[in-house]
Structure 1
Amino acid sequence: MKTSEFDFDLPEHLIAQHPLSDRKQSRLLVVHKNTGELEHKHFYDIVNYLKPGDVLVRNNTRVIPARLFGTKEETGAHVELLLLKQEGDIWECLVGNAKVVKIGSIISFHDGELRAECIEIGDKGIRKMKMLYDGIFIEILERLGNVPLPPYIKEKLDDPERYQTVYAKVKGSAAAPTAGLHFTEELFKQLSDKGIIIKDVTLHVGLGTFRPMDTDTIEDHIMHSEMYWMDQDTADALNLAKKEGRRIITVGTTSTRTLEAIYKEYGCFKECHGETAIFIYPGYTWEAVDCIITNFHLPKSTLIMMISSFATKELIFKAYNEAIKEEYRFFSFGDSMLISNE
């Protein structure tokens, strides 16, 4: 299957540069996967499409200020780090100006308040860096780091909290699970009052969000891995929903990825944590998820391939063409889509 089959032309003015002042006012394109019907709504209408007994699963990861600007101590060369994955004081990083960062290179941030030593060199700008500091790392990072907005967002974000979901809790992501940005506490209360069961998983969003596919065929793509967690309470609620034939609805591709990965590995949901490199594209056999709430994704991305697998490529591209025609806002700060099995 060719990567080029998932390309589409998007007018640049449809790439949302800032979030709406009211999260729930974003538009919602409802895609009925069984009939092919499309409906134009607003996100606050989501309450009308979920029903009592549905389990809504969201990713409670929180974006850290993972972008650091420093200088190489030996030469003064400017170096940018994007922190991706943590193992104690060692971080896998995507490095700007990576050619100057060799084994043993030390990058200094804010006059040495934080330093990072390169201990391993990977492909395509990836380095493993050991962090050198006094005190508590996350507190230092909160002072020195910057929120790593996607490269297609050119405008400054006045309020960094608008790149967090209202339920963001577990620090560790390099990017937000953006389908969740449309929800408000008021919406969650309406859903809960209606009898929708709301549960959390955690998946820390990493490199795949920033790296485009660079293979001509989908099957040749090597998927990035990300860390995930599911607790017993969420596992019990999901297993019971499966047993009773109630719907499982995921907020975003990251929650979707987590549930499918766990169900594929164990044949059920269970309390667990681990790493997944699951790659979902057309031909995949779905096991865990019944409906998906998602944003509009980049051309030729693994995410548009995932949702093309969940519905069909023809229906998803019909929906995308309709969204472009109706001037929906695209990508992280853009509008939303519900792919429903009703």
Structure 2
Amino acid sequence: MRVDLFDFELPPERIALRPVTPRDAARMLLVRGEGAFEDRSVRDLPDLLQSGDVLVFNDTKVIPAQLQGTRGEARIGATLHKRIDLRRWQAFIRNAKRLREGDRIDFGRDVTAIAESRLADGSFVLAFEGAEPVEILLERAGTMPLPPYIAGKRATDERDREDYQTMFAQRDGAVAAPTASLHFTPALMAALGERGVESAVLTLHVGAGTFLPVKADDTEEHVMHSEWGRVDQATADRLNAARADGRRVIAVGTTSLRLLESAADESGTIRPFEGDTDIFITPGYRFRAIDGLMTNFHLPRSTLFMLVSALMGRDRMVAAYAHAIAQEYRFYSYGDSSLLLP
């Protein structure tokens, strides 16, 4: 399938550089399988869902995975992507042409790593030196890995350490936030509970590959980076029971959706899952595990715009995005939300 089918023009002023406050004051575009689009608010969510619906959240926690360092006189930037073991991470490198296997990178504040090997996709395996846990080293020398479309327009600051973390964040390992969940507050969760809406959690450690554009001309030529996720037995059982009862499972964010679809078998039964997934969902895909999706607005030519097009239909999502742009919705990680109910 041609990648340019998923292109669209987005005015730069529609890119949100900060989230709204409070978080649940964000706007939300309701997109059903047919009919008019509805301009709503995230706070309307309890009125738009049914008692018994289950919202599935990702409890991953973003780590300060952006590092700036030097190799001799050369400046080297590193964005951690995926943990390999206790001391080694796969990382995307800026100024990689100045880095060779075996080189030591000094990230300052007594944090150093060896460029152990270069992988086929051009990324490196970095082996962090010393005895301190890597998480401690990152807290000392790293910054929050804001998406390039934000970081290119302003510096990361202390406010981002809170803004770029969801209320569900429990398990360290993500280098990008599951941004659909950024809109949730304790007050909204209480209102959902009063409505009878249930919740479940899983873990998908979002990698830096989520920021990478699709450079291929055809989707069949695009290679997805893998990410680690886990769905435990109790969560799988709850979700299967809900669907057996005719209740809806609605993924909060494309990360939750991709992991649920990775864990589901051909019959739609969600199995316990622990490991890597590189699932790539494009139009023509048959969804097995979910009945709806709450998600932010995605980049043109991105795998995530392809995913929502697979769920709702490409023409429907092209029209929805045109409506969102005309109505001045805020786009991307710190932007507004959409509720997609096919």
Fold conserved between structures, TM > 0.5: yes
Secondary structure of the equivalent of 1:152?
helix
- Tell me whether 1:263 sits opposite 2:264 in the alignment: yes
Q: Give the C-alpha shift of residue 226 in structure 1.
A: 0.6
- Tell me whether 1:127 sits opposite 2:144 in the alignment: no
> Are 1:18 and 1:155, in contact at CA under 8 Å, matched by a contact in 2?
no
Structure 1 gap ranges (5+): none
Secondary structure of the equivalent of 1:327?
coil
Q: Deviations over 1:81-121 (max 9, x none)?
A: 1111112211100011111111111111215x221111211
- Tell me whether 1:55 sits opposite 2:54 in the alignment: yes
Q: Deviations over 1:53-92 (max 9, x none)?
A: 11110111111000111111xx231111111111221110
- Tell me whether 1:229 sits opposite 2:235 in the alignment: no
Q: Which residue matches 1:148?
A: 145
Normalization by structure 1: what TM-score? 0.95
- Tell me whether 1:204 sits opposite 2:205 in the alignment: yes
> Are 1:248 and 1:291, in contact at CA under 8 Å, matched by a contact in 2?
yes
Q: Aligned residues, how many? A: 337
Q: Deviations over 1:234-288 (max 9, x none)?
A: 1111010121111000001000000001104785223321111110000101111
| Stretch of structure 1 that moved more, 277-286 or 233-242 | 233-242
Q: Which residue matches 2:244?
A: 243
Q: What RMSD in Å do the two structures reach over aligned CA positions?
A: 1.4
Consecutive aligned runs of 4 or more in structure 1 exceeding 4 Å deviation? none
Q: Deviations over 1:176-209 (max 9, x none)?
A: 0111111111111111222111100100111321
Q: Which residue matches 2:193?
A: 192
Normalization by structure 2: what TM-score? 0.95
> Aligned partners of 2:69 and 2:316: how far apart in 1?
46
> Are 2:57 and 2:201, in contact at CA under 8 Å, matched by a contact in 1?
yes
> Are 1:26 and 1:42, in contact at CA under 8 Å, matched by a contact in 2?
yes
- Tell me whether 1:36 sits opposite 2:38 in the alignment: no
Q: Which residue matches 1:97?
A: 95
Q: Which residue matches 1:77?
A: 74
Q: Which residue matches 1:26?
A: 26
> Are 2:268 and 2:289, in contact at CA under 8 Å, matched by a contact in 1?
no
- Tell me whether 1:46 sits opposite 2:29 in the alignment: no
Q: Which residue matches 1:278?
A: 279
> Aligned partners of 2:27 and 2:47: how far apart in 1?
14
> Aligned partners of 1:267 and 1:209: how far apart in 2?
26
Q: Give the C-alpha shift of residue 217 in structure 1.
A: 0.7
- Calculate percent identity across the aligned residue pairs: 43
> Are 2:27 and 2:42, in contact at CA under 8 Å, matched by a contact in 1?
yes
Q: Which amino acid aligns with 2:114?
A: E
Q: Which amino acid aligns with 2:236?
A: A
Secondary structure of the equivalent of 2:148?
coil
> Are 1:36 and 1:315, in contact at CA under 8 Å, matched by a contact in 2?
no
> For the structure 1 residues 256 and 271, does the alpha-carbon distance in structure 2 shift closer, same or farther, using more than 3 Å as the test?
same
Q: Which amino acid aligns with 1:302?
A: T
> Aligned partners of 1:296 and 1:272: how far apart in 2?
28
> Are 1:248 and 1:290, in contact at CA under 8 Å, matched by a contact in 2?
yes
> Are 1:201 and 1:231, in contact at CA under 8 Å, matched by a contact in 2?
yes
> For the structure 1 residues 237 and 250, does the alpha-carbon distance in structure 2 shift closer, same or farther, using more than 3 Å as the test?
same
> Aligned partners of 2:205 and 2:54: how far apart in 1?
21
> Are 2:81 and 2:208, in contact at CA under 8 Å, matched by a contact in 1?
yes
Q: Which amino acid aligns with 1:51?
A: Q
Q: Which residue matches 1:307?
A: 308
Q: Which amino acid aligns with 1:312?
A: G
